Structure 1
Amino acid sequence: MATSDVKPSEKIYALINYEDPYVQPLILAALQKRLPESSYEFITSVSQLPSPSPRLLQWVQYESIDFDHLLENSSTSLANAYVIRKALIRKHYLSTTIANWITKYPDSVLKRHVKPSVEFEVDYAEFLDDALVEAWELKESWARNEGQEEVEKKEWWILKPGMSERGQGIRLFSSERELTEIFEEWDPESDDEEEEEDEDEEGHARSDAGGGGENGERKEVQEKEEGNGIITSQLRHFIAQPYIHPPCLLTPPNAPSSELRKFHIRTYVLATSALQVFVYRPMLALFAARPYVPPWNNVLQEDRDEAMRAHLTNTCLQESGDREGSVGLFWDLPNNIPQQPEGLELDVKSDWKDLVFEQIKATTGATFEAAARGMSIHFQPLPNSFEIFGLDFMVGIEEDGSLNTYLLEVNAFPDFRQTGVELSGMIQGLFEGVVEKGVLPFFGVGGERKDGEDGMVKVLDVDLGRR
């Protein structure tokens, strides 16, 4: 049947505007490959829809979704994001989601595959003591560290702003003094400091003084390294987690064979309707910019940002030269893990990647179920929505030499560009799988493939009773 012969009520009107030149053509190609040519028509605005309301697919940035139309036309309108999903994508909410679930289900896989978190809120370093009044885990750890003479046996923690993105504001610490210094680094300059700077500049006003306003409101605080700015809302909620040490180290693509670096696994996950969750089997391995060194060797050096380059595996923070060779395909990683530093004895078989993938699937399914069932106020899947999330995992080495995979965070609207041009085919396949699992079933177009046939592996299928 020609396009002109399709009735308006049967046609899918597709509003596709992802506002990303890397992603946009891949989405369009996936739709054109998976949808019958006569079944859809591209539009540029919801106002172009004929009346009465026909079938509509919105695949745009979150802020551009017409949620009113989505909610008013639940049987005909589909969008690429859920309205509410803070229980997953905000670090402090995710921490609470998992802690509550483990309390209710102590045998959950989340207990083994997620590091427990200490949550607190603080605006200024001078209020840190008050914020940590009930942070018993931190205080007990600090007390143990004070009595530990061997620095390599001290317990280290990783600090993460609850609403930061792209690795901003992440720091390591092992004592209360170190944590205090971190917050002092972020504190805005005082009025006295501003006056001194003004005098140094021969009375010329500084527009970037960064001091508090009349009501003590905190302005933007920027770290010393350009491009790593942190805003007020990111510096209020924090979580601290035990640092994963030792991490599993590998050699990144195109790096000298002797260089062992820290890496994390980026896993793309599709959640659709209310609620099915799929893990996309092709995954990325993202490596740090510098060879790994234990946190006690360099984290206390004066340049904190440079020190963190051996620990942060987020390629968004890396310069273009560092980024080359820092991203590879997970399944292309070597079957045999090289000898790790510090004389660690590994108990790892050649199928270690299959083991890690099984742990990722189990952890992902449990995480989404915990959010959907245990934090339903902050995660509300809609039957006429789907969303792609980027989950980050790290592989650590246990005391017995075995590998254990830890969930680090859940990202909404992940940065697909970090995949790079050479691996864009992986993202193309992801979008085709999303169309197959998230779009076709809703509109009843085409035949759904079997589980796993398009790389999408189902890890959760629950009925939340939302219609």
Structure 2
Amino acid sequence: MVCTAILDLDDDYLRRLVLAGFQAHPNWTVEDLSTSELSESETERHRSSGLLFWGEYERIDWDTVSAGAQVASSYCIRKGLIRKAHLAFNTKKWAAKHPRGRLAAALPETWVLEVDDVDYIDEALYEVPEVRDMKEGEEVWIAKPSLTNQALSVCIFDRVDALRRALEAAPDLREWVLQRYVSNPLTVEGRKFHIRTYVLCIGAFTAYAYSDSLALLAQGMELGEAEDRVQQMQQDVMGIIGETMEAVSSELSFFPLPNCFELFGFDLMTR
């Protein structure tokens, strides 16, 4: 039986990798909409025609997927895992119920700040007295917008005025995660690094963590020692990821469908 997959990816590097994967399986034929010359209406129609759609989230036909007629490369509702504020809420809730678990020990002090209007930042900070009353110059916190990625608008601050300026500079970002800065991370020759682990989630649901994690270091570092440290911490990494997936899977903000799958990246820093 030959099955048809519809491919519609913007990133050429990822598209070529996915195509190479399908080429290794002769029972699959691929229709690549990324390079097709179909009209917009024809492209829209073709997106729901294959057994599998592997493409951008915004182009998935969720009616077709929800009806069970197509497998999709993303979950429809997954903000409980990919939005920082939702993830903070879910993991904090889990940690409170499982205080002796790996996740509880791994989480830094975290608060969610809602800023409805930059003219009322002081009112918003009233809900986070740990930050509002911080000892200026003696404590360090980090502020992360819930909706952004690639470190956009992230701010490290040691006084409330610096946080206020960061919030005023991003008036469209209303939901922030505030975390006490990890000031004593494990380093390699004085350089900080974090661990990137990829997790494949399928159906409703099973999660597979890739056993080879990456050590992402500051520039100018040799990887050998960091790779050894990553191997030593692998059991803790897998435990933290497992508990995180359990924490979000029971929440309404993460709803895995049986005919969907998605690849997520987890970044962890060790102390």
TM-score of the two chains, using structure 2 as the length reference: 0.86
Specify which of 146, 150, 156 is matched with residue 162 of structure 1. Answer: 146
- The CA deviation at 1:123 is 4.6
Q: Which residue, 19, 24, 30 being the options, matches 2:15?
A: 24
C-alpha distance in 2 between matches for 1:112 and 1:178: 29
Q: 1:46 to 1:180 in 2, by over 3 A?
A: closer
Q: Larger deviation: 123-132 or 386-395?
A: 123-132
Aligned to 1:275: 205
Equivalent-residue separation in structure 1 for 2:234 and 2:224 (angstroms): 15
Give the letter aligned to residue 148 of structure 2.
S
1:285 aligned to 199, 209, 215, which one?
Answer: 215
Q: Deviations over 1:248-267 (max 9, x none)?
A: 2236xxxxxxxx43222222
The alpha carbon displacement at 1:272 in A equals 0.4
Q: Give the 3-state SS of the residue equivalent to 1:23 in structure 2.
A: helix
> C-alpha distance in 1, partners of 2:249/2:215?
28
Per the TM alignment, residue 167 of structure 1 is displaced from its structure 2 partner at its CA by 0.4
Aligned partners of 1:87 and 1:97 also within 8 Å: yes
Cα distance, 1:281 vs. partner?
2.1
Distance 2:230 2:86 in 1: 30
Runs of 4+ residues deviating >6 angstroms? none
2:240 and 2:208 mapped to 1: Cα distance?
Answer: 12
**Are the structure 2 counterparts of residues 92 and 48 from structure 1 closer, same or farther at C-alpha, using a change threshold of 3 Å?**
closer
**Deviation, structure 1 residue 62:** 0.5
* C-alpha deviation, 1:183, in angstroms: 3.0
1:364-403 equivalences in 2 (<5 Å): 364-373=241-250, 375=251, 377-396=252-271
Q: Alpha-carbon deviations, 1:84-111, whole Å to 9, x = none?
A: 0010111111111111112222223211
How big is the alpha-carbon RMSD for the aligned residues of Structure 1 and Structure 2?
2.5
Distance 1:268 1:31, change over 3 A: same
| DSSP-derived class of the 1:22 partner | helix
Instruction: Flag the structure with higher strand content.
Output: 2
Q: Which of 1 and 2 has greater Rg?
A: 1
| Identity score, percent | 33
Deviation at 1:58, TM superposition (A): 0.7
- Number of the residue aligned with 1:183: 167
Q: Which residue of 1 aligns with 2:103?
A: 110
Q: For each residue in 1:195-222, what CA deviation from the matched residue of structure 2 results, as whole angstroms up to 9, or x when unmatched?
A: xxxxxxxxxxxxxxxxxxxxxxxxxx5x
Residue 363 of structure 1, aligned match among 236, 240, 250 = 240
Residue 30 of structure 1: how far off its partner (Å)? 1.2
Residue 370 of structure 1, CA deviation: 0.6
C-alpha contact 2:22 2:28 (8 A) present in aligned 1: no
Contact 2:3 2:28 in 1 (8 A): yes
In structure 1, list runs of 5 or more residues that go unmatched. 1-9, 187-220, 222-230, 252-259, 290-324, 327-331, 338-349, 397-467
- Residue segments in structure 2 that go unaligned for 5+ positions in a row: 34-42
Query: Could you tell me how far apart the structure 2 residues matched to 1:166 and 1:241 are?
Result: 17
CA shift, 1:54, in A, is 8.1
TM-score by length of 1: 0.52
